[in-house]
Amino acid sequence: MAEQLRAQAESARIAAEDARHAAEEARHASEQARHATIDAVAATADSLAATLEQMKFLEEARNTIRELKRIKPNDIN
């Protein structure tokens, strides 16, 4: 009977240790996923910033062309 209880206790200890290892692996995977998400958000922010700068440049170019079209040949000194 005592041996049976020891065997059950050892079995429970092994199961608890296995569960602890599984939880640690899950925590590690979660941490990696969090870092990947942060990297993806940073890349998206960089891309959006670059796109905004391109849009500003194109708008400035359009405004310049618009202004140049308003100038009449006789207005040039």
Q: Over the stretch 37-74, which tens digit does the pLDDT of each residue have?
A: 999 999 999 999 999 999 999 999 999 999 988 887 77
Sequence spans of domains, the chain: 2-75
Q: What is the mean pLDDT of residues 4-33?
A: 97
Enter the tokens of residue 64.
């310049």
pLDDT (0 to 100) of residue 76: 65
The pTM (predicted TM-score) of the whole model is: 0.65
Percent residues over pLDDT 90 in the chain: 83
Q: Which residues of 43-76 are buried (b: 16+ CB within 10 A; e: fewer)?
A: eeeeeeeeeeeeeeeeeeeeeeeeeeeeeeeeee
